[in-house]
Amino acid sequence: MVEVSVVKCEDYEHQRVKSAILQSLDLTGGLENVVKPGDDVLLKVNVIVGFPPERAATTHPAVVGAMVEIIKEAGGIPWVGDSSGAYGYTARSLDISGMKKAAEKYGGKLINFESTGTYQVEVDGKILKNINIAKPAIDCDVLVSLPKMKTHQLTKYTGAVKNFFGVIPGPGKAAVHRQAPTEESLCQAVVDIYSALKPGLAVMDGVVGMEGEGAINGTPIQSKVILSSTDCVAMDAVASEIMGFSHMDVLTTKFANERGFGTGELEKIYVKGEMISDVSLDFEKSNRAYYRLPTFLGKFIFKNTENISRVFISEDDCKKCGICFESCPASAIMLEPYPVIDQKKCIRCYCCHELCRNSAVKLKTSFLGKQLLRRLLYQT
């Protein structure tokens, strides 16, 4: 039976975080079963487009620093890497998020996936068949997912499996969103990416999580846990239950489990350390209520969403940085000079909303849309 450990951690003081991680690793067999002396160990962090740690949008540098130190003490060679959700912003994102400082302080090698080159990997995917993956994610001896515990406005939850979306650098992420604009298709695409990798470990930063309109526009929440497992899918199942989701409602978990890439059924997972019921919190979920509808109704709402929900830019908040324009998979944004969204081209992938560092991208549901969603949710 696959194991997932849950350990309490009150704050980000370095020794407290390190102790919690070591305890969580010991509960699942110890790091020595994963990392051998001389192994190159890639810690795949989550930097999005770079936010200071207090925003709770990125993996906290205290967790990164502790993991770098732990890997070195085990004889491994720690790498810390990611690519930003916005092409060209990775170096800045690694700096602003504190990843660069943490890696340098504790002796890790910082890697910007935008500058490493990629391998084209063929997969038997549901959405993707060929994936350009940053070379370090393939070349490393041990691949570790180091995600943040967060809600997500399109996929409900983002954790250890979805964290690997970041191994696709450059404009590749936008290309995936063009192919997979809905929750179901995007989650299948994420699992396609996951199928090309061989992660050996996942350690989740759940000391302070994010609720509401994640992955960046939500609210920090004191969740006070560290999770670890050698099975990313199992860890996501446990983490999402702690957050108040029914784990199989998270489609990355459901699809990865169905396709045999991990264990996503809670009854087949041995939770060690804290019980889920003792640390569970009812995270505020995204206001995008139609993800809770049955699949056929959700598809109907999505296809007809132009008259129900719109994405728009607040000129009062916009700094004209251009990230939304550069990152839009559908080329639906024009600069005039403020960004303007062509609603007919918009595919409702919400990349602009997720990547805006100034909270200038707003989601607006019409009165008709609110009434329809309320009625449908009541009936289901």
The confidence score (pLDDT) of residue 300 equals 57
For residue 299, name the pLDDT band (cuts at 50, 70, 90).
low
The confidence score (pLDDT) of residue 346 equals 85
Dihedral of CA atoms 224, 14, 138, 2 in degrees, nearest 10, equals -40
For residue 93, name the pLDDT band (cuts at 50, 70, 90).
very high
The Cα 159–Cα 153 span in angstroms is 13
The Cα 240–Cα 207 span in angstroms is 14
Dihedral of CA atoms 207, 147, 210, 208 in degrees, nearest 10, equals 10
Which among 276, 199, 250 has a CA at the least distance from the CA of 4? Answer: 276
Question: Could you tell me where the beta strands, DSSP code E, fall in 153-198?
Answer: 156-158
What the block records as the tokens of 214 is 């994640």
Neighbours of 293 (CB within 10 A): 18
pLDDT digits (tens, 9 = 90+) for 96-130: 999 999 999 999 999 999 999 999 999 999 999 99
The confidence score (pLDDT) of residue 286 equals 82
Cα 58 off chain centre by: 9
**289-379 classified as CATH 3.40.1180.10:** no
Rg (CA), the chain: 20
Side-chain half-sphere exposure of 8, counting CA atoms within 13 A:
8
For residue 303, name the pLDDT band (cuts at 50, 70, 90).
low
The confidence score (pLDDT) of residue 326 equals 83
Among positive and negative, which fits the CA dihedral 187, 189, 195, 196? negative
For residue 221, name the pLDDT band (cuts at 50, 70, 90).
very high
Among positive and negative, which fits the CA dihedral 6, 258, 46, 35? positive
The answer to whether 49 and 93 are in contact (CB under 8 A) is yes
Does the pLDDT at position 26 exceed 70? Answer: yes
- From-to residues of CATH 3.40.50.11440 in the chain: 2-279
Average pLDDT score, the chain? 91
Say which amino acid occupies 253. Answer: T
pLDDT digits (tens, 9 = 90+) for 142-189: 999 999 999 998 899 999 999 999 999 988 999 999 999 888 999 999
Does the pLDDT at position 375 exceed 60? Answer: no
Helix ranges, the chain (H): 14-27, 61-73, 90-96, 99-106, 135-139, 172-179, 183-195, 232-242, 251-258, 276-279, 295-303, 323-327, 351-355, 367-379
Which among 204, 145, 166 has a CA at the least distance from the CA of 48? Answer: 166
- From-to residues of CATH 3.30.70.20 in the chain: 289-379
Per cent of the chain over pLDDT 90 is 71
pLDDT digits (tens, 9 = 90+) for 274-294: 999 999 999 999 865 454 555
For residue 203, name the pLDDT band (cuts at 50, 70, 90).
very high
- Ranking 188-197, 307-316, 331-340 by mean pLDDT, the lowest is 307-316
Helix (H, G, I), strand (E, B) or coil at 122: strand
The answer to whether 235 and 159 are in contact (CB under 8 A) is yes
Average pLDDT of the segment spanning 262-284: 97
What the block records as the tokens of 356 is 């805006």
- Architecture in CATH for domain 2-279: 3-Layer(aba) Sandwich (3.40)
Average pLDDT of the segment spanning 37-56: 96
The confidence score (pLDDT) of residue 185 equals 93
